[in-house]
Structure 1
Amino acid sequence: MDAAGVRSFWERLGLPGLVDVHTHFMPEQVLKKVWAYFDAVGPLTGMEWPITYRHEEEQRVALLREFGVLSFTSMLYPHKAGMAGWLNGWAADFAARTPECLHTATLFPEEGVERYVRKAVESGARVFKSHLQVGAYDPNDSRLDPVWGLLAEAGIPVVMHCGSGPAPGKYTGPEPVGRLLARHPRLRLVVAHMGMPEYTDFLDLAERYGGVMLDTTMAFTDFSERFTPFPAAERGRLLELTDRILLGTDFPNIPYPYVHQLEALERLGLGDDWLRAVCHGNGTRLFARSAG
């Protein structure tokens, strides 16, 4: 039923399918730890966070194919030094055996980061993931400076969890990201979760820097609207920034069916052209550029 609803959504819009910039695939032992975190996240949010798609990897890939997701990512991230290079190796292998998956890589401020990021770029990485909350690092750490320059020069987007939801971190929020962009204004930075809960501040950064985009992951859904509602006064800015908004879902780590993210976007009332751009056109163009 879920797949039928998803397909009905994009077929009605005349699209060939969806481009989802924020989906999670990672080594099984790492994913199980992520799921354990969400199982315990109730005290942080005041709401339970059941994993709707707690399936084996092969079944999760099959579901995205059934939904009609033409391109997706394997967002993965280290929580400490020494993990990123290993995760990048796994992600490269996953992308090689999963044609729809955009080759994803990650990073951490540590000795050797420039070396393994360059290796990932040279081996065809199309998108990077940076998680300031889980990694608990400052994006302005001097060890990352050559990396941001490299990625900006290569035109490879970085999906960054930099907003302070569901719980703030030492380096989350718009201020560290603003300092980063002041030094690397050409960086293609995708603000995950629309920057929730600091929606307005991250929209401001998108207006200031042409390479800043925002993904819709969990934003506007019933779940998120209960504790971090998107400000109604900012809805018009979503239309003004149509070409900077990208579909993201957080599949499989979502507490509701996949189709609900699409329904949440549709009920914003911003029109079919906006939905077509967000759910397919913008992502297609972005990753065509990152492919060189």
Structure 2
Amino acid sequence: MSIDVHCHHLAFSPKNGGHIHPKFSKSYRIRWYLNAIGVLNWQDAFLGRMPEKERLDERYRELLVARLDASPLGHAVVLAFDGVYDANGFFEPERTAKAVTNDAVIALCKESPKMLFGASVNPLRRDWRYELDKCLDAGAVLVKWLPNVMGFDPGDVRIEPFYQRLRETGTPILMHVGFEYAVPNINIRFSGLDRLEAALRAGVTVIAAHCCGGRIIYDSPSLFRDMRTLVAKYPNLYLDVAALASFHRKSRFLNALRDPLVASRLVFGTDYPIPVHAWAFRKETAGRTIPENYFAKDLFIKEATGLEREALTRGYAPIKKRLLIARPETFHQVV
């Protein structure tokens, strides 16, 4: 049974647990993503016409559930997305490009047995312990961080109690590494490769998103070596392949597949709803029919490029302790 460890929920309306900054909601970037997955038609995307937020949210939920249920995947971790918080730990809507509450994802996960809850808790919020424990009680299998967008440094000493709580509960972090292309960055340094070490040293299992990033289009040999050094040093480090079916991340994907040590830590992820660039993998998929289903297409392209079958199930390993507590029947099926 296979698992996608990196699938995003998206909501626009506060009624549905969403927050989208007005400036970001009008950007071509968000309209392009919504058009690519069928939430927004190309005319509205091109002209900047956005339907009512509630209609967008309903369409997004319907398509996500239908596509996942029709896919060959066993499960997908559906992610919340916390916002930016000020020095006193209060939410800052003006500095937050997008956010989706944990409660919204908890509700969504009830719509499909394939969905697992991925929480998101900014460690600088005043009520982080309450929010984290609430999410764990609700069945969260991991915590999602995008530090350069959420506005905090993973190496900040104030976060050490957060790491301790994650270690105690066997909860991994799915942490973004590298530049963020989909959402405006606040501080790119917060997503540097070196920022992974605080959590790793604390004994927390980390899934580094996008195989630690790399450079756009052309992968950096030095950055790849640095990533490989971390993989060799920390057995609690995994690397997801989310968004690596994109033309600008293909170089990092190919390099990861060629290195036996790095390949042994890869776990499958899509980064739904980020578009899949099938055209960039014409050589790898030549003569074969590419599936239309988003998840099946992403899976097909990555397998055709050389992703091993073990990577499709390896994503259960870092979440197994949480899965046993949250979904024991699922745990016994897959672990």
**TM-score of the two chains, using structure 2 as the length reference:** 0.67
Give, in angstroms, the shift of residue 93 of structure 1: 2.0
Contact 1:49 1:255 in 2 (8 A): no
Bigger mean CA offset, 214-223 vs 49-58: 49-58
Matched, 1:193 2:213: no
Provide the rounded CA distance (Å) in 2 between the counterparts of 1:201 and 1:268. 24
Deviations 1:172-192 (A, max 9, x none): 21122224423x1x2111001
Which residue among 272, 289, 292 is the counterpart of 2:321? 289
Deviations 1:92-114 (A, max 9, x none): 22223332111221111121212
Matched, 1:262 2:299: yes
Give, in angstroms, the shift of residue 157 of structure 1: 1.7
List aligned pairs for 1:82-121, cutoff 5 A: 82=90, 87-108=101-122, 109-121=124-136
Q: Which residue of 1 aligns with 2:65?
A: 61
Q: Which residue of 2 aligns with 1:230?
A: 252
Q: Which residue of 2 aligns with 1:171?
A: 190
Which residue among 140, 143, 146 is the counterpart of 2:158? 143
Give, in angstroms, the shift of residue 217 of structure 1: 0.8
Deviations 1:51-106 (A, max 9, x none): 52143111221011111222112222223125699812222222233321112211
Give, in angstroms, the shift of residue 241 of structure 1: 4.0
Contact 1:162 1:195 in 2 (8 A): yes
Deviations 1:236-289 (A, max 9, x none): 32x3344421111111232545455334423444xxxx621112x212333333
What letter corresponds to residue 195 of structure 2 in structure 1?
A: P
Which residue among 56, 76, 101 is the counterpart of 1:72? 76
Q: Which residue of 2 aligns with 1:45?
A: none
- Aligned residue pairs: how many? 260
Contact 2:9 2:100 in 1 (8 A): no
SS in 1 for 2:308: helix
Contact 1:53 1:60 in 2 (8 A): no
Q: Which residue of 2 aligns with 1:40?
A: 29
Q: Which residue of 2 aligns with 1:246?
A: 267
What letter corresponds to residue 261 of structure 1 in structure 2?
A: D
Contact 1:188 1:212 in 2 (8 A): yes
Q: Which runs of 5+ in 1 are unaligned?
A: 1-15, 43-47
**TM-score of the two chains, using structure 1 as the length reference:** 0.76
Closer, same or farther: CA 143–51 of 1 in aligned 2, 3 Å: farther
Give, in angstroms, the shift of residue 211 of structure 1: 1.0
Provide the rounded CA distance (Å) in 2 between the counterparts of 1:223 and 1:31. 28
Closer, same or farther: CA 101–199 of 1 in aligned 2, 3 Å: farther
Closer, same or farther: CA 114–199 of 1 in aligned 2, 3 Å: farther
Provide the rounded CA distance (Å) in 1 between the counterparts of 2:35 and 2:162. 33
Q: Which runs of 5+ in 2 are unaligned?
A: 40-58, 93-98, 215-222, 278-293, 325-335
Provide the rounded CA distance (Å) in 1 between the counterparts of 2:35 and 2:24. 7
Give, in angstroms, the shift of residue 28 of structure 1: 3.6
Percent identity at matched positions? 18
Which residue among 1, 24, 27 is the counterpart of 2:8? 24
- Taking only aligned residues, the RMSD between alpha carbons, in angstroms, comes to 3.1
Closer, same or farther: CA 116–28 of 1 in aligned 2, 3 Å: same
Closer, same or farther: CA 240–177 of 1 in aligned 2, 3 Å: closer
